[in-house]
Structure formats: structure tokens, C-alpha cells
């Protein structure tokens, strides 16, 4: 009898303790997603009642030039930024993991810029990317070292694609091929650089914590066997870090597919739609920037994006786990 009563009190207390989580999740996660699924099958502008249109929104999304363009843009973005920031973060972490005095000081200094908001950093980069800004000054000085002159460029208003530019440098012209194969635009790559610059230190901290969990005995044993520094990195550090690498690649992928802040502040999708992204499109549809808000269409785009992110994550898992079996 007493046990029963205690168990009942325990269960009731449990429910009261998770009540805030349950209620808010029920309304703002489960309820809202169920609603989004419904809305994605309707035509809905916020002011009139939703009108059922079936799969129309999804069909429209896959036929929408802007949406496809945004997916293509972000594809290049993910493919370049995620490996770059992961490698950079790992490199920084390995450097900081050296047993030297003051490494925690450097850790703090490296990480500090990442605690500020992306709006602040983007604003500063906006200013540095101006035609009369420091980035052009840097290239001017660099080119001057080699005796050449650098013509300052409009970093944030340059639709030239990467491959288009490379082809032009060799006298070719690929301006007629499909936009996807012209590669990311100069502006888009400028944003990529800024993103790598600001995200790498955060992931560096995660790598550093993981590196400190690698048993030092492994390295000692390997170096007694005559393994070089690089060999130990390849054969011990990387395999031991595999789960963390997977985590960082996944976090990076989910984050980069949803890039918004930089686009909103720096380019609004331009020039010539080369920096358009899905979340930016969803955002302007919701606010009705281009006419009446198309909530159904925006929801459909959001689900397509979520599906793509999900598939990407699955592929990465496959890829990284297959790697593990080698060891």
C-alpha cells in the first residue's frame, strides 16, 4: 500500500516536472509540424482560409527556378564549406593539443570571436569586403609582392562563377553552360570564406575535447614502434576521432543547408540569384515580400529541404561508418 502510494507520487511528480516540456513541445513542435504538413498541401495566404490543392505545392517547388537555383547554390556551399571547416577545426585542435604552456590561453583566444553573433561578424566582413575595404587591400599588397597589380573588385556583387573564372583565365568561355556547372559565384565564395572563418573555432573546441580523450599510451606505443608524427595522426588520431568527425560533419551539414543570416545581410540573394538559399526564400515567402504570402508553398519548400538534409546525413553516416570497418 505504501509502496503503491510512493510510486504514484513519484509518477505524478515526474509528470509535473516534465509538464512544461510536454506542453510546449505538443504545441510548438508536434502541433506545429502537423499543421505544416497540412498547410503544405494547401494554398494559404494567412488571411483567407486554406484551400486544399494536394501535391500542387510540391510540384511547384520542383518546377520553381528560384528554388532549384537556391538548392544548387547551397549544394556547392555544403560541399565546400563542410570539409573545409571540419579540416580547419581539426588542424587547429591538433595544434592546440600540443603539450605547451599557455595552450588554454590560446584556446580561449581562438574561440572568443565565435561567441559574438553572426550578425556582428557578418557586418564587419561586409565592411571589409567593400571595394575600398581591407580584403582588396590585402590582395593589393600580396600581388605587389610578386610585382603585379591587383584590380580591386566588388566582392559582394560579382556573379562570375568559379569554373567560369578559371576557364576565362585559360582563355575559355563557359558562360553558356548550365549555371550549376559554372560553379559558385565570387560573392558566394566570399560568404563561404566568412562562414568557415567563424564556424571552425566552435568545432575546434569539440575536437580538442575529443583529442584529450585519446589515451596517450597509444601514441607512445606507436612512436616506440617507429611511427612518424603523420603516421600516428593517420592511424591513431583520425580513427579514434571518427564518431566526433561524424558529429561535426552532420552538425555542419544541418547548419550550412539552412544558411540565412549572411545572405539576408550581405546580398539578399543577389547578384543574379547566385547566393539565393532555401531558408531565405522561405523567409521572404512567409513575410510576403514578393506579393501575398504563400504559406503552403513555403512549407512545401521547407519539407523538401528537410528531406534533403536527412538524406545527406544518412549518406554521411554510411560513408563514415564504412570507413570505420577498415580499422
Partner 1 sequence: MPVSETNTTEMGPGIPAPKDRQWTARVVRLVRRPLLYLLLTAIGLVLFTPFILAFLGTFKSDAEIIAWPPSFLPAEWLFENWPKLFSTDFGGRPRPEGATSLGLMAGMLVFFGAFLLGGMSSETKGRGVPRRIGLPAAIGLAFLVGAMAAWYVGLGFDGRLLQLTVGAAFFVIALIGVGVLAMSEPDWGRVLLAMVAALLLGGLTTVLFEVFAVIAGGGRFSRWLYNTALLSTVRAFIMVLFSAMAAYAFARLRFPGRNFIFAFMLASMMIPGAVTLIPAFIVIAKMQWVNTAYSLVIPSLVNAFGIFLLTQFFKAIPRELEESAFIDGASFFQIFNTIVLPLAKPALLTLFILQFQGMWNDFLTPLLYLNTPDMWVLNVALSVFQQQYTAAWNITLVGAMVNAIVPLTMFFAFSRYYIEGVSYAGLKG
| Residue list 66-105, contact with partner 1 (CB under 8 A) | 92, 95-96, 98, 100, 102
Per CB under 8 A, the list member of 42, 185, 199, 202 interacting with partner 1 is 202
Spatial distance between the Cα atoms of 89 and 233, rounded to a whole number of angstroms: 15
For residue 198, what are the β-bridge partners? none
Per CB under 8 A, the list member of 68, 84, 94, 130 interacting with partner 1 is 130
Q: How far apart are the first and last CA of the chain?
A: 56
By three-state DSSP, how is residue 51 classified?
strand
> Is the separation of the CB atoms in 107 and 96 below 8 Å?
yes
Residue 32 vs 59, nearer CB to partner 1:
32
User: According to the binding rule CB under 8 A, does residue 218 interact with partner 1?
Assistant: no
User: According to the binding rule CB under 8 A, does residue 155 interact with partner 1?
Assistant: no
Residue 88 backbone dihedrals phi, psi, to 5 degrees: -65, -45
Q: Which stretch binds partner 1 (CB under 8 A): 2-10, 69-77, 158-166, 181-189?
A: 2-10
Residue 37 vs 166, nearer CB to partner 1:
37
Distance in Å, CB of 325 to partner 1, minimum:
23
Give me the residue label for grid cell 575600398.
132
Q: Which DSSP letter does residue 132 get?
A: T
Residue 80 vs 210, nearer CB to partner 1:
210
Q: Which stretch binds partner 1 (CB under 8 A): 65-73, 142-150, 183-191, 221-229?
A: 221-229
Q: Nearest-CA neighbor of 206 among 236, 143, 249?
A: 249
Binding mask 249-288 for partner 1 (x = CB under 8 A): -----x--xx-xx--xx------------xx--xx-xxx-
User: According to the binding rule CB under 8 A, does residue 156 interact with partner 1?
Assistant: no
Q: What is the footprint of partner 1 within residues 296-325 (CB under 8 A)?
A: 298-299, 302-303, 305-306, 309, 313
Helix axes 295-325, 238-257, angle to 10 degrees: 170
Residue 269 backbone dihedrals phi, psi, to 5 degrees: 95, -20
**Strand ranges in 204-325 using DSSP code E only, listed in sequence order:** none
Per CB under 8 A, the list member of 24, 144, 166, 289 interacting with partner 1 is 24
Amino acid at each position: 500500500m505504501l509502496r503503491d502510494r510512493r510510486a504514484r507520487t513519484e509518477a505524478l511528480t515526474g509528470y509535473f516536472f516534465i509538464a512544461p516540456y510536454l506542453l510546449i513541445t505538443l504545441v510548438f513542435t508536434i502541433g506545429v509540424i502537423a499543421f505544416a504538413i497540412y498547410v503544405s498541401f494547401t494554398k494559404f495566404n494567412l488571411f483567407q482560409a486554406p484551400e486544399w490543392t494536394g501535391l500542387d505545392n510540391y510540384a511547384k517547388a520542383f518546377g520553381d527556378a528560384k528554388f532549384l537555383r537556391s538548392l544548387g547554390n547551397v549544394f556547392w556551399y555544403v560541399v565546400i564549406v563542410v570539409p573545409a571547416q571540419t579540416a580547419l577545426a581539426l588542424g587547429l585542435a591538433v595544434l592546440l593539443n600540443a603539450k605547451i604552456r599557455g595552450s588554454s590561453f590560446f584556446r580561449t583566444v581562438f574561440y572568443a570571436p565565435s561567441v559574438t553573433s553572426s550578425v556582428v561578424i557578418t557586418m564587419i566582413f561586409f565592411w571589409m569586403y567593400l571595394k575600398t575595404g581591407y580584403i582588396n587591400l590585402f590582395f593589393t599588397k600580396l600581388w605587389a609582392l610578386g610585382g603585379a597589380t591587383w584590380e580591386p573588385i566588388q566582392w559582394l556583387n560579382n556573379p562570375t562563377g568559379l569554373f567560369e573564372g578559371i576557364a576565362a583565365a585559360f582563355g575559355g568561355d563557359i558562360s553558356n553552360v548550365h549555371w550549376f556547372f559554372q560553379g559558385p559565384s565570387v560573392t558566394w565564395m566570399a560568404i563561404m570564406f566568412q562562414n568557415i572563418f567563424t564556424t571552425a573555432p566552435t568545432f575546434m573546441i569539440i575536437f580538442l575535447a575529443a583529442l584529450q580523450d585519446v589515451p596517450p599510451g597509444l601514441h607512445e606505443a606507436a612512436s616506440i614502434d617507429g611511427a612518424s608524427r603523420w603516421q600516428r595522426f593517420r592511424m591513431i588520431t583520425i580513427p579514434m576521432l571518427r564518431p566526433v568527425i561524424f558529429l561535426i560533419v552532420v552538425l555542419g551539414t544541418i547548419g550550412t543547408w539552412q544558411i540565412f543570416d549572411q545572405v539576408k545581410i550581405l546580398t539578399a540573394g543577389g547578384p543574379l540569384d547566385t547566393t539565393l538559399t532555401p531558408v531565405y526564400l522561405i523567409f521572404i515567402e512567409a513575410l510576403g515580400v514578393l506579393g501575398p504570402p504563400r504559406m503552403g508553398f513555403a512549407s512545401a519548400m521547407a519539407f523538401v529541404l528537410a528531406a534533403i538534409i536527412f538524406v545527406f546525413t544518412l549518406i554521411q553516416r554510411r560513408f563514415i561508418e564504412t570507413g570505420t570497418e577498415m580499422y
